[in-house]
Amino acid sequence: MTAWSEAVQGFHSRLVLGATVALFGVVAATGCGGGDTYVKVQGTTTISKGQELIDLQEALKEGAINQAEYDRLRATILKRPN
C-alpha cells in the first residue's frame, strides 16, 4: 500500500468516525426535550387535596410557580370533587 492510499484510508476512517459521532449527537439531542411537553394523566390518584395544596404551597415558596399560577391551580384543586 502506498503512502497516499494509507493517507486516504486514514482520512476516510476519521471521516466515518466523525460522521458517526455527529449522527449520535443529533439523535441524542432530539431525545432531550423533543416532542410534546404536555402529559396526559389517566386513571385515579391517591393524593389528597390537602397534600396537593401543601405541594402547591411548597412550589410557590421555592419559586417553581408564581402567585398567579398558584392561585389558578389552588382554585382548580378546591373545585374538584373529593
Tens-place pLDDT, residues 48-81: 999 999 999 999 999 999 999 999 999 999 999 8
> What pLDDT score was predicted for residue 54?
96
Range of the domain at 58: 41-82
Query: Taking a C-beta distance cutoff of 8 angstroms, is the pair 77, 59 a contact?
Result: no
Same domain, 25 and 55: no
Same domain, 32 and 47: no
> What pLDDT score was predicted for residue 29?
60
Q: Which of 80, 56, 82 is nearest to 70 (CA)?
A: 56
Same domain, 30 and 45: no
Q: What is the pTM of this model?
A: 0.45
